[in-house]
Amino acid sequence: MVKRIVLFSLFAALMACSGGKTDNKQVEQQVDDSIAIIDVNLDSLPGLANRYVNRVVRFTGAVEHVCVHTGQRLTIAGAKGARFAVLASESVPQFEPNLKGARVEIVGVIKSAANKVAICEAEAEHHPGETYYIDCQTIKVE
Alpha helix ranges (H) inside the chain: 2-19, 24-33, 45-48, 121-126
Q: Provide the pLDDT for residue 114.
A: 72
In a domain, 92, yes or no: yes
In a domain, 5, yes or no: no
Tens-place pLDDT, residues 61-116: 999 999 988 899 999 999 998 999 999 999 999 999 999 999 999 999 999 887 55
In a domain, 24, yes or no: no
Query: Could you tell me which of 110, 61, 57 has the C-alpha nearest to residue 87?
Result: 110
- Residue span of the structural domain in which 110 resides: 37-141
In a domain, 30, yes or no: no
Please count the structural domains in the chain.
Answer: 1
- Report the C-alpha gap between 93 and 137 in whole angstroms: 9
In a domain, 42, yes or no: yes
CATH code, domain carrying 61: 2.40.50.140
- Report the C-alpha gap between 131 and 142 in whole angstroms: 28
Q: Is the pTM of this model over 0.75?
A: no
In a domain, 135, yes or no: yes
In a domain, 74, yes or no: yes
In a domain, 32, yes or no: no
- Report the C-alpha gap between 123 and 100 in whole angstroms: 15
